[in-house]
């Protein structure tokens, strides 16, 4: 069953809105498929206009940019430390944009959208001394 992303049937004030049309196919979104830690798998899917997006289903590595040295390197992800999108995502090791991951280089904030970009990029956080 899809998720409908159309207009609400209620106003901000709580009053009823009379629908101007029925539901349309382009207003339906896809089922959620979260990016998690595991063997690297990427799934392509067709979007509007016959374009293709790539969705990360599982991954073990991340491209980390270090602002101090201004260099990027690939490293392994150990675990998800914090996720502002949903606190339960930490227990399930779900990766979204803004999540803080523990890597071999230290803590990293995810700056890409793994559900749409097909790549996992992050910025290394400064260590608290």
pTM confidence score: 0.83
What are 52-78's pLDDT values in tens digits? 999 999 999 999 999 999 999 999 999
The tokens of 103 are what? 């890597």
Per-residue pLDDT band for 95 (boundaries 50, 70, 90) equals very high
Domains of the chain by residue range: 34-124
Q: For the structural domain made of 34-124, what CATH number should be given? A: 3.10.290.70
């Amino acid at each position: 069953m899809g998720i409908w992303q159309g207009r609400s049937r209620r106003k901000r004030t709580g009053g009823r809105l009379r629908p101007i049309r029925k539901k349309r196919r382009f207003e339906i979104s896809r089922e959620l498929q979260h990016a998690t830690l595991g063997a690297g798998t990427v799934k392509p899917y067709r979007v509007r206009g016959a374009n293709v997006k790539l969705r990360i289903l599982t991954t073990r590595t991340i491209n980390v940019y270090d602002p101090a040295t201004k260099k990027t390197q690939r490293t392994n992800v150990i675990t998800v430390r914090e996720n502002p999108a949903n606190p339960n995502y930490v227990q399930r090791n779900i990766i979204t944009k803004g999540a803080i991951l523990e890597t071999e280089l230290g803590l990293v904030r995810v700056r890409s959208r793994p559900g749409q970009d097909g790549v996992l990029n992050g910025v290394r956080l400064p260590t608290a001394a």
